[in-house]
Structure 1
Amino acid sequence: MATILSQYSTTGFYKAPVSKGLMGCMFLTCTALNVPLLAHLRKYLICKLPDVFLKGEIWRIASAKISFVDTKDLVCGSLLIYYFRVFERRYGSHKFASFLVASQVITTVLEVLTILVLQWFAVDLHSGGFLPPGPYGVIFPLFVNYLFDIPRVAQTSVLGIPITGKTLTYLLGLQVCSTSAATAISAFAGIVAGIFYRYNILYVQQVPWVPGWLARGARATLARLLASPPPPEGPAGATLELQRQEQIEMWEQEMMMNRAREMRNRPGANGAVHPFMQNFIGRRQNNPAHPNPPPTEEQVQTLVEMGFDRQRVINALQTCNNDVNTATHLLLQES
C-alpha cells in the first residue's frame, strides 16, 4: 500500500484534512470489523429491504454505508480517495465535505429506490434485497468531476486503446464496482449523484449539507488533528498542480520502456521536445499563411491551473493549434 501511494506522495494530504480523515476512518472501521473481538458488529452493516421499513430499523440504511467489508474494496477505495484529494484543495474542505455528504445521501436514496423497483418487477440482483455495504456514495460521484475537470494527457496506446495518466484511476473504480451486480448498481447510482450535484439538479447545491457552525467547529478541532505539513519542496500548487506531477510520475513508472525508446531518439539535453512535437511545431512554423486563432481564456486557465506559466501556456496553445491535450503534452516535455 505504501509503495503504491509513494508515487503520488508529492504533497501527501497537505490541505486535505477531510480526505485524510475519511481514508483513516475507512481503514479503522474495516480493520475493526475484521478483529474477532469486534466481529459481532458486522450485523449492523446488514440492511435488507424492505424489512428495515417494516421493522422500523431505517437507521440500518445509514449504518450499512459506514465501512467496506471486502479488503479489496477497502484498498481500491482508499487509493481513489487519495487520488481525488486534489478536489478538496480545489473546492476547499467545507465545500468538499458538503459534496461528500450530499453525494452519499443521494446515492443511498437512489440505491434504495432501485432495489425496491427491482423487487416490484421480481428482479433480484441484490441477493434478496440486501443493500451493498460500503461508502460507494463518496467515491463514485467524484469520477464525474475527475472526468470533466482533470485534463486527459495521452501517453501511449496498446492495441489501439489509448493509455493515459487517468487509466489507472478508472481501473481502480472498475475493480471496486465489479464485485457483483449490486455493487455495479451502487457505483452507477454514485455517478448519477455526482451528475446531480455538478449540474445542481433539484438545487442540491443550495442545501446546507454541512452547516457553517459545524464546519467552524471541525476547523477548530479536527482540522488541527488531521493537518499535514507542507511538502519539503514547498507548498502544493493550486488545483491541478498535483495532477501535473502525478502525470509525470505515473508516466515514468508505467511507461518506462516506451520512454527509454523515446530517450534514445532524442537529440540531446534534458527538456528537449519530443520528436513528434518537433515535427508538429515545424509544420506550423512552415505555414505562416494560416496563423492560429488566439486561444480562449478557458483553455488558458485550464493549463494555468495545472501550474504552468501563463505566457508559456499561451505559446504552447498557439503552437498546437489550441489543442489542450497536445499543449499539455508539450508543456510536460519542456518541464
Structure 2
Amino acid sequence: MLSQQSTTGFYKAPVCKGLLGCMFLTCTAIHVPMIAHLRQYLACQIPQVIISGQIWRLLFSRLTFIHTKDLICSALVIYYFRIFERRMGSRKFSSYLLGTCTIATILEICTVMLLSQFDIDYHNGGYLPPGLYGLIFPLYVNYFLDIPRIAVSSFIGVPLTGKTVTYLLGLQVASTSQATIISSLCGLVAGIIYRKNIFKVQRWLVVPRFIAKSFDKLFGWLLNSSEPKYKQMGATLELQRQEQTDILEQQYYYNRTQEFRQQRGQGYSERLVDDGVNADGILGYFLRQRQRPTENLEPSQENIQILVDMGFEHARAVEALRSSSNDLETATSILLRQ
C-alpha cells in the first residue's frame, strides 16, 4: 500500500492529509501525561449530552481513536481512500464526509436509544465509541461498488485481490467491541443513504463554497502537496500498480534486447538503443513501428525463437508475427500491449 512507485502521496488530497494529521495529533495529546485529562472530552454519553445541550461532545468524539491499533489501521485506510478525494475534488469530498458522518451519528444515537428501550447495553451506559467510524466506513460503499476487483493470488483456494488488505483493515477497526461494530454498520448504512441520495441528503448536506475557499486560504499552505515526480498516476491503486509493472516489464525487455545485440548485430535492438535507453523510448518506438506498412509474410523460425526466448508463449508469438507479417518489432509491441 505504501510502495514508493505505486503511490503519489497526498497530491490533490488535502482533506485526507488534514484528517490524518488531526487523528495523530489528537491521539498523541490524549496519551501525553501532562494533558491526558483532555481524554474526558472524547466521552459522549447518550442521551445525557442531548439533554444537557453539550452537542459539541458529538464532534469531539469523532476526532480520533483511543486505541493505537485502530489509529494505525484507520490511517492506512484513509491514506488509500484519498483516491476518492482526487476523483470528487476536495469540496465535494468534504461534503460527502460531512453528510455521511452526520447521518451515521444520527443512526448511532437512534440505535443506542432504541437498544436502551429493550434493556440492551452494548455501549457501557450509552457512551458512543470515539473514532472516525462515520467518516471511514461510508467510503467502503464507494470502494466496493466503484473499485474493480482484480485477483492477484489465492490462499487455500480463496482468491485474494488488491482490495483484501483494505477490507481486513476495516474489519480490524470495526471488531474492537460490540459498540464499534454498531458504529461501523451505521457508517455503512450512511454511505448507502448518501450514495442513493435518499431524502435528497446530497442537496442539503453540502460544504458552502465560501467555507471551502476560506479553509484553503488558511490551511492550504500546510495541507497542499506538490505534484509527484512520477507523472503516471492511475485513479486506483490497482492501476498504479499496473503502471509500475508496465515500466518494470519494459525495462526488462530492454535488457533482453541488449543480449540480442551480439547475436543480431545492427538489428532491431540497435535501433531501440538509438531511440533512447529508457522505457518510454522503447514503448514509443514500438508504437511508431506499428504504423508502418508491412508485407504479407509468414513467421520465420528465427523471429519465433527470439520471442520465445523473451518469455512469450510459442502460440502467441506465432499469432503476433502472423498478424504483423513477420515484423519482429510490431509483433513485440502487440505482445507487450496484450
TM surpasses 0.5: yes
* 1:21 corresponds to: 18
- Structure 1 pair 126/116, CA: closer, same or farther in 2 (3 Å)? same
Secondary structure at the aligned position of 2:2 is classed as helix
Q: Which runs of 4+ in 1 moved over 3 A?
A: 6-9, 246-250, 266-270
* 1:216 corresponds to: 213
In the TM superposition, what whole-angstrom CA distance separates every residue of 1:115-167 from its partner, at most 9, and x where no partner exists? 00000111111112110001111100000000011100011221221100000
Residues 6 and 244, structure 2, Cα contact 8 Å, conserved in 1: no
The Cα of 1:248 is off from its aligned counterpart by 7.3
Residue 193 (1) aligns with residue 190 (2): yes
Secondary structure at the aligned position of 2:15 is classed as helix
Alignment of 1:1-335 (within 5 A): 5-6=2-3, 10-234=7-231, 236-237=233-234, 239-240=235-236, 242-246=237-241, 268-269=309-310, 272=312, 334=337
Distance 2:164 2:112 in 1: 31
**Count of residue pairs brought into register by the alignment:** 263
Residues 77 and 176, structure 1, Cα contact 8 Å, conserved in 2: yes
Residues 5 and 230, structure 2, Cα contact 8 Å, conserved in 1: no
- Structure 1 pair 8/75, CA: closer, same or farther in 2 (3 Å)? farther
Distance 1:160 1:86 in 2: 30
- Structure 1 pair 107/22, CA: closer, same or farther in 2 (3 Å)? same
In the TM superposition, what whole-angstrom CA distance separates every residue of 1:52-103 from its partner, at most 9, and x where no partner exists? 2333323222221111111011000010000000000000011001101111
What's the Cα RMSD here?
A: 2.8
Residues 103 and 194, structure 1, Cα contact 8 Å, conserved in 2: yes
Secondary structure at the aligned position of 2:12 is classed as coil
The Cα of 1:334 is off from its aligned counterpart by 4.8
* Identity score, percent: 52
**Unmatched 5+ stretches in structure 2:** 246-306, 320-333
The Cα of 1:267 is off from its aligned counterpart by 5.2
> Which protein is bigger by CA-based radius of gyration?
2
In the TM superposition, what whole-angstrom CA distance separates every residue of 1:242-279 from its partner, at most 9, and x where no partner exists? 441246779xxxxxxxxxxxxxxx95537x58x9x96x
Letter in 1 for 2:310: A
- Structure 1 pair 152/26, CA: closer, same or farther in 2 (3 Å)? same
Letter in 2 for 1:133: P
Distance 1:180 1:96 in 2: 29
The Cα of 1:199 is off from its aligned counterpart by 1.0
The Cα of 1:183 is off from its aligned counterpart by 0.3
Distance 2:102 2:220 in 1: 23
**Unmatched 5+ stretches in structure 1:** 251-265, 283-315, 317-329
Letter in 1 for 2:38: L
Distance 1:130 1:95 in 2: 31
Secondary structure at the aligned position of 2:159 is classed as strand
Distance 1:169 1:248 in 2: 20
Distance 1:207 1:131 in 2: 26
Secondary structure at the aligned position of 1:139 is classed as helix
- Structure 1 pair 249/177, CA: closer, same or farther in 2 (3 Å)? farther
TM-score (norm 2): 0.71
TM-score (norm 1): 0.72
Residues 14 and 90, structure 2, Cα contact 8 Å, conserved in 1: yes
